[in-house]
A and B are shown apart, each in its own frame.
Chain A
Amino acid sequence: MANSPRDSPSLRCWKEHYLVNLVAWMTMMNAPQHYTLFPLALGQILREHAVPELHLTLNAGKWDYERWGYPDETGVGSGAELWAWMGDGGSSSIKERWKGMQNALAGLFCASMNGMNSQLTTSPTRAFPPAGDLPLLPTPHTYRLLHATLAAEHVCTENLTPFLKLLPCPARAGIASLLMPHKIFDADWHGLGVHVRWRSGVGVELALAVQVVFDPVRVSVEQKRDWSLRSVFDRTVLHPCPVANSSRIRVKLPSDSGSAYSITPEPSEVHGDFATYDVSAVSDELDVALRWPEETAFLYTTATPSSALSDFSVQRALKGASQTHGQLSLVIRNNCPDEIRVLYLETMPWHVEFYLHTLRVERDGQPQDYLSSNLTYTPPIPHSHPALLQTVLTLPPLSTLRLSVDAHKSFLRYTEHPPDAQRGWNLPPAVFVSLSPTNSSVTSGREGKGWDGARRVYTSVMLVDLATPDFSMPYNVIIMSCTLIALIFGSVFNLLTRKFVVVKLPMHEERTHVVDR
């Protein structure tokens, strides 16, 4: 068994926000029952359900590509996202293993992954290619991708605690000791990621990633952008993790030459824009701090940055006030002077059904349908399977594309509504994958393939308001119909069994009264 765990957080800053990205990764060779650094709890799940590649992200908040640029870990869709490549065939069906794996992961991470039923599961292979090499299978069997998103999942301490337990050095030593729940869940954006892949000659690799976006100005009393590990995390690194092969902190130095800054302590190495600290060489407490001594208060810049941090930006909305019809509308802006081709992937639960013939692509108010090509559409199966829409969009340089498609909102069965039905249904984020070779400013700094496959851009999640019944309705119906039946019964029964006589009153002889006796 060979293990090579590495802690490698990097701190990046923009104008006022800091991204902290902590990654620990480890490798397991083929000794499936005996674990040293690879977490047993996760390894057994992978083994039991025969999963060579698995990606799970739990994120809270909306990633702002405009202000923060591209994240180091690609999977930043809000909520929980799970995708896995699994071999088809074998003794148990792929559906059963997918279900079993969800239940096991839900138990392991205290998340509601078990809610990812077939109504949410799709297989968009183009947007989620395997990040590793999949082991060869005997000929009749092939690999299949299963992907599901739970946009409503909330990420909190109960997810972080089991996540930290997977690390060889949880919360007490090494860089993972920085992860204090109070500070992390106070951040502008935070996400956990578990990535497992298999590589030939290496074995099973696992990466545990935490991404957090902090805003030091927001928490600073003096409105300054100075930060230190203690101010950001309320912790410092006390001991290095004794089993880590390497343990480094990389700080991206500010690139704006506006004011002077100081960084303490002296970094072990400065390479380009990055200052690197080797945690394993540090004997006592390590508290990295970056200060702007001459700055009294940080002023937010009001002007938009001259060069956009993302190649293209997407806004997605579901329009229309009615409870039966709506229109999905996307506004995609290309910020680059070059043409970009992107793969647009939309996974829709069956209760929002597209009218595909109404798909329109407009540029500057002119219909230009040729900009959308290679369209594939898997129609939804009501009550069981979601719809999957994939198309390649060509974005002309520095222009805005509007895409719209009419949708029909289904009427749900009484029992299909969630407990908080009035809140609406979460629709998973749409995914964009850039097909053009990207320029160097946005490529991931890691060698070879990224941990979680191709770089993807997630839109924000949406809420759809479906027609919601009054949930006391069945009882009202019961009471109403019972009352009607009782009334009809009573009158018919009375007519049949009562006795009617005519009584002549002596005073008014002309008049007769029907009185029942």
Chain B
Amino acid sequence: MDHGAVENDVRFQKSSRLSFEQTKLRRTILASYWTVVLLALPLWWYTTSIERLSLPVSRVNSQRDKELRFPLRVELDTSAVALDTAVLVKDVETALDAVTRRAPESFGNLDLHITVAQKDVLSPDAYGVSVIQGIEEPLIQGRSLSVPIQEVSHIPQLLSSLLSPYSSHTGFGGLEHLVAKYAPRYRLAFTVLNEDAAGGQAVVGWDVQSSISRHLSFFLDRISVLHNFTIESQLRFHAPLAFEPKIVGSDGEEVHGLTQDDLKIFVNSAEWTLSSSVSNDPVLHFILFIPSASHAPLRILDADDKPTSSDAFILPQWGGIVLMNLPQNAPSRIHLSTPELDHTFSLFRAQLLTLLGVPNLPAIVALTDPSSPLTDWQLDALHRRRTIENTISSKETLESIVQLVDEIPNMPVGPDVRDDIQDALTALDKVYASASSSPMLALQYSSQASTLASRAFFNPGMLALLYFPAEHKYAVYTPLFAPVAVPLLVTLFREWKKARAGADEDKDENTVGERSTRTDQKD
């Protein structure tokens, strides 16, 4: 062994003395790697995370406790008859309280203030009730109601049915589920459906425009503050039924009957083209159905399969259908004139009012002006009803969005969704603020809130990442991160073990010292 080799050996064996073999340097290198990794983590997190803006959750939740109140003022006027007004006011209030307790959901949103009329003129935003003599039945004109003296005991009942936004407690409870959901725009599609025009008689024309202007225009004008209407009409010459009507005998003749179950499946949407698809506005269908010769006469059956006198029915939230059995001796090609359509269109009108949720007048009430059959009382009640519905639906939608975003962590929430929700909340606040002053404004704000809330709910941007699952990401990341992470972790573990070993060595320093001395001597 020559001298140089020995020196070399010494230097290599004492490798910890070399600058690049020092533990401290090695640990610094390792630490710097980990520093870079740790510093990069936030950047990685930022670039791969989904945009989830925070939603005004507390504002949405606070909506739950808010309740819409409509303050209403009713002025009682008994000056024409000898009655103690104060006593009457008290009686009416007690009776109305009882009604409110009985049906809180239909009457609960109203704050009624019954006062004694001070002057002859009625305040513009108040409802007037005057008790007078010389009339047979209650009369309505504008926002005032005249009650004959013998009907005084009916005043609480009349008031509750006229003012309540829902007509459920007036005995028409079954009609509530028919009302279509509120929309600022509706399309009304009037259709004549000939079941089989080739089979004999067929309606080939109808005076639909004049019938609409005669029977519906007035209503549509009055309701135009709530909804805009687009009207379209068509004739179809072939509209087969999807089922075979039941044949029943009635008064010696054979009639084809629609059972109550048949009515539910009456519309054969696969074969009937009923309306166009150019807009997304909800459509209310009104169908005049002409049964074919093989199915005539077609009647509606009651629960006991007996033909009823009714020839029309409503499909809930969808539209109305009127059956028209053509007379046997009619010509084969028929043009329906306006007078012939009077019955049909008065049925369509009733169906339309029911579908739009217009409350019925109490049966005993008469109108002073029969040509304008939609009273201010009904319109106001409809306003209140739609405002309440819109408010409830927008609240529910907003809560659903918050819940959905909370449940699905991968769902992005962009600024447009957040803005829509904030705007909807602002509109909702405005509804509460304006409910007392202007029911019209309240309705507009509530409609706005409902539109914005549903737009936020159906925002297509919220679906984006459902198609980019987490597994996909890991598949891309693993080939890079796994091979890089393994040496990093292993080295860290080894250094940690070595450091512990080093600490142990420090404890029994003597042994180590001896050993090293011995090595030195040997060299």
Residues of B211-243 whose CB lies within 8 A of A: 230-235, 237-238, 240
Any A CB within 8 A of the CB of B275: yes
Residues of A10-34 whose CB lies within 8 A of B: 31, 33-34
Contact A34 B232 (CB under 8 A): yes
Query: Pick the contact of A494 from B199, B204, B232, B487 — CB < 8 Å?
Result: B487
- Residues of B whose CB lies within 8 Å of any CB of A are 1, 8-9, 12-13, 15, 21, 26, 29-30, 33, 196-199, 202, 204-205, 208-209, 230-235, 237-238, 240, 273, 275-279, 332-333, 476, 479-480, 482-484, 487-488, 491
Among A299-307, A309-317, A333-341, A498-506, the stretch that binds chain B is A498-506
Contact B278 A486 (CB under 8 A): no
Q: With A41-B277, A501-B13 given, is the CB distance from A35 to B30 under 8 Å? A: no
10 smallest CB-CB distances across A and B, nearest first, come from A486-B483, A173-B198, A44-B276, A502-B12, A482-B479, A482-B480, A239-B198, A40-B234, A35-B234, A48-B278
Given A40-B276, A489-B487, A496-B26, 8 new contacts (CB under 8 A):
A39-B234, A107-B277, A239-B198, A240-B198, A478-B476, A485-B484, A489-B483, A499-B26
Nearest to B207 among chain A residues (CB) is A34
Query: Pick the contact of B333 from A242, A475, A489, A493 — CB < 8 Å?
Result: A242
Q: List 15 A-B contacts (CB under 8 A).
A: A33-B232, A34-B208, A34-B233, A41-B277, A45-B278, A169-B197, A169-B198, A173-B237, A242-B237, A243-B237, A493-B491, A496-B29, A497-B30, A499-B26, A501-B15
Residues of A274-309 whose CB lies within 8 A of B: none
Interface size class of A (residues with CB under 8 A): 35 or more
**Across the interface, which residues of A come within 8 angstroms of B234, CB to CB?**
34-36, 39-40
Nearest to B26 among chain A residues (CB) is A497
Distance, CA A241 to CA B198, complexed state (A): 6
Distance, CA A486 to CA B26, complexed state (A): 20
Any B CB within 8 A of the CB of A174: yes
**Across the interface, which residues of B come within 8 angstroms of A40, CB to CB?**
232, 234, 273, 275-276
Min distance, Cβ A217 to any Cβ of chain B, angstroms: 34
Distance, CA A170 to CA B33, complexed state (A): 76
- Residues of A whose CB lies within 8 Å of any CB of B are 31, 33-37, 39-41, 43-45, 47-48, 104, 107-108, 165, 168-174, 239-243, 475, 478-479, 482-483, 485-487, 489-490, 493-494, 496-497, 499-502, 504, 509, 512
Q: With A35-B232, A107-B277, A499-B15 given, is the CB distance from A243 to B197 under 8 Å? A: yes
Q: With A40-B273, A48-B279, A242-B237 given, is the CB distance from A499 to B21 under 8 Å? A: yes
**Across the interface, which residues of A come within 8 angstroms of B476, CB to CB?**
475, 478
Min distance, Cβ B10 to any Cβ of chain A, angstroms: 10
Distance, CA A434 to CA B273, complexed state (A): 41
Q: With A40-B232, A499-B21, A501-B12 given, is the CB distance from A493 to B488 under 8 Å? A: yes
Min distance, Cβ B216 to any Cβ of chain A, angstroms: 14
Distance, CA A35 to CA B235, complexed state (A): 7
Q: With A104-B278, A242-B202, A497-B26 given, is the CB distance from A486 to B197 under 8 Å? A: no
**Across the interface, which residues of A come within 8 angstroms of B33, CB to CB?**
493
**Across the interface, which residues of B come within 8 angstroms of A242, CB to CB?**
197-198, 202, 204, 237, 332-333
